[in-house]
Chains A and B, each alone.
Chain A
């Protein structure tokens, strides 16, 4: 099973401040553990939203909104992609991450290759294909 872990932003990350050396070291160590356990597939930090943009869709209209965006808590500042045997395993890994101060880290399962084979019956797979077709037509 594949999971995405979403790390929220903070006023510091939005200001483009790099974390303290100590925090970086801890995070590096944690990342190494993930890699050595064969769990981490990908992971990146995101630049502040001041370097990003939003595009708003309304009918045929496209409005570009330049960053920064407000509400630092709702901003994603980084992510991991993990491969784990179960949701519980992903949670166990996440519990070991070096975070503090009441921050909440979100774990989400990714739709992917497990959608076939043992988990997915041919009927379900067909239903999924139909759904995807419908979604594409919308």
Chain B
């Protein structure tokens, strides 16, 4: 019993310390794979020793010291006696740094290391899947099984993704540094994309039996909050965080008693999480204060804020939402944004106007297999009383939808058009 309590405490320490530990070690050994191995070795040492010795007063420093000691041992072992002279300069330099007393007190340095690590795990040389897996593992402190469960893939697949990603980073000689000023915007965008991918997989699962997976939303929020604290001057960082806080505020109202999705219009707004609403509105203000030209995440957050401020669907400022979608459509040129804009237009100016816009999107290749296109069309047709056509659209939407509860909702809406 006592040892299982210690193990849980070690898990907790790991979640708190692992990102800083791996980041600090990466700075020294210049290789994220080696750094993670050393950190894992330190974790193993903790699991062996802490159940009897108790948890040290400064567990972070303890882990760092253990990892460094292991690093020194490894380097020395690699260099046999007769080859000692061949110890190359770089290794010597690493060895010296590993031998330095602990630098855990230099908090700012450590924080910059965490940011460097984030830019590394979200580096454009990696595939999207690899960025997500590596970021969750090295910065979110998630284990391979946890990531596998989150994305409904096998543990082996995740492990391989992580190994391959680390190899790619090493082979591409991706440096452990903050991006240069001219590359910064693109690199920040890459980091934000990874965080939002994680969030979205939790917020509207693309596949599987569950409609939402709150744990993934929490992981994404945590990464977003970390990034906002590390890069307080970047408007889109606050914009994304605002968007996630506001969307997460609706999570519990988004699921019905049987686990089925509940649409925004049908949600009990008293069940929204008002602490998160306030946090989201605060982050949005911060983003807006930092720039005059709102980026795509800030615009989406501003749209979410219109909903958050409204006490009901009727009281929602739909014309403002349309205007914000105009801005977002101009910025992204995305047909999905156009589709959302059509929904807002229908709310602001009637279903007829919305349907006209939806119909103009019918030939968009990007939307051909997107279930929300027929779903929106069905909704507008139903509101116009064209029930037979609406029925067909909902059936088509259900066919295209991979998420079980969402498909059931679409089928029930199709059925309702028959009555």
Q: Can you name the residue of chain B whose Cβ is closest to the Cβ of A92?
A: B12
CB distance from A34 to the nearest CB of B (A): 9
Q: Is the interface of A mostly helix, strand, loop or mixed?
A: helix
B223 contacts chain A at the CB level, 8 A cutoff? yes
Q: Which residue of A lies closest to B141 (CB)?
A: A85
Residues in A neighbouring B223, C-beta threshold 8 A: 38
Please report the C-alpha to C-alpha distance between residue A29 and residue B108 in the assembled complex, in whole angstroms. Answer: 11
Report the interface size class on chain B. 35 or more
Question: In the complex, what's the smallest C-beta–C-beta distance from A112 to chain B, in angstroms?
Answer: 7
Does B9 interact with chain A (Cβ within 8 Å)?
Answer: yes
A53 close to chain B: CB less than 8 A? no
Chain B stretch 195-243: residues in CB contact (< 8 A) with chain A: 210, 212-215, 218, 221-226, 229-230
**Which residues of B, 41-66, contact A by the 8 Å Cβ criterion?**
59
Min CB distance, A39 to chain B, in Å? Answer: 8
Given the known A-B contacts A88-B8, A126-B257, are A38 and B226 also in contact in the complex, defined by CB atoms under 8 Å?
yes
A129 sits at the interface (CB 8 A):
yes
Are B111 and A38 interface neighbours, CB within 8 A?
no
Assess the B221–A38 pair: CB atoms within 8 A: yes
Q: Is B15 an interface residue (CB 8 A)?
A: yes
- Closest chain A residue to B13, Cβ basis: A92
Chain B residues with Cβ below 8 Å from A93 are 16
Q: Are B229 and A36 in contact (CB under 8 A)?
A: yes
Residue pair B229, A38 in contact (C-beta under 8 Å):
yes
Query: Shortest beta-carbon distance, B116 to chain A, in Å?
Result: 14
Select the stretch in A16-24, A61-69, A116-124 that faces chain B: A116-124
Question: Interface size on A (CB < 8 Å)?
Answer: 30
Q: What 0/1 pattern do residues 19 to 61 of A give for CB contact below 8 A with B?
A: 0000000000100110111110110000000000000000000
Residues of B within 8 A of A81 (CB): 275
Q: Is the CB of A125 within 8 A of B257?
A: yes
A63-110 interface (Cβ within 8 A of B)? 81, 83, 85-86, 88-89, 91-93
The reply to whether the CB of B31 lies closer than 8 angstroms to some CB of chain A is no
Q: CA of A35 to CA of B222 in the docked complex: distance in angstroms?
A: 10
For B210, the chain A residues whose CB sits under 8 A away are 117-118
Whether A42 lies near B275 (C-beta < 8 A) is yes
Q: Would you call B30 an interface residue if the criterion is a C-beta within 8 Å of the partner chain's C-beta atoms? A: no
Q: Does B11 contact A (CB under 8 A)?
A: yes
In the bound complex, CA of A122 to CA of B258 (Å): 5
Q: Is B252 an interface residue (CB 8 A)?
A: yes
User: Is A12 located at the chain interface by the 8 A CB criterion?
Assistant: no
List the A side residues contacting B16 at CB < 8 Å: 37, 89, 92-93
- CB of B273 within 8 Å of the partner chain: yes
Q: Tell me, rounded to whole Å, the shortest Cβ–Cβ distance linking B42 to chain A.
A: 16
Residue from A32, A42, A118 within 8 A of B215 (CB atoms): A118
**Min CB gap B63→A, angstroms:** 13
* B279 located at the interface, meaning its Cβ lies under 8 Å from any Cβ of chain A in the complex: yes
- The answer to whether B15 and A85 touch across the interface, beta carbons within 8 angstroms, is yes
Q: In the complex, how many angstroms separate the beta carbon of A81 from the nearest chain B beta carbon?
A: 7
Q: Is the CB of A86 within 8 A of B255?
A: no
* Chain B residues within 8 Å of A39, by CB: 222, 225
**Complex Cα distance A42/B289, Å?**
21
A138 to chain B, nearest CB (A): 18
Q: Does A113 contact B (CB under 8 A)?
A: yes
| B95 CB → nearest A CB, Å | 30
Kindly state whether residue B259 has any CB partner on chain A within 8 Å. yes
Q: How far is the CA of A86 from the CA of B259 in the complex (A)?
A: 24
- A84 vs B222: C-alpha distance in the bound complex, in angstroms? 9
Which residues of chain A are within 8 angstroms of B225 by Cβ–Cβ distance?
35, 38-39
Q: Are B255 and A117 closer than 8 Å at their CB atoms?
A: yes
Instruction: Name the residue of chain B whose CB is nearest to the CB of A119.
Output: B214
Measured between alpha carbons, how far is A116 from B107 in the docked complex, in Å?
A: 37
Q: For the complex, what is the distance from the CA of A105 to the CA of B417, rounded to whole Å?
A: 58
Q: Which of B12, B59, B229 contacts A88 (CB 8 A)?
A: B12
Complex Cα distance, B229 from A132, in Å, reads: 37
In the complex, besides A38-B222, A86-B15, 18 extra interface pairs with C-beta distance below 8 angstroms are A29-B107, A32-B229, A33-B107, A35-B225, A36-B114, A36-B226, A37-B222, A41-B279, A42-B275, A86-B8, A89-B12, A92-B9, A93-B16, A112-B252, A113-B273, A117-B251, A122-B257, A122-B258
Q: Which 4 A-B pairs have the closest CB atoms?
A: A38-B225, A88-B12, A38-B222, A89-B12
25 cross-chain CB contacts under 8 A? A35-B225, A35-B229, A37-B222, A38-B223, A39-B222, A39-B225, A41-B279, A42-B275, A81-B275, A86-B8, A86-B12, A88-B9, A89-B11, A91-B12, A92-B16, A93-B16, A114-B214, A115-B252, A116-B251, A116-B255, A117-B251, A117-B255, A118-B215, A122-B257, A125-B257
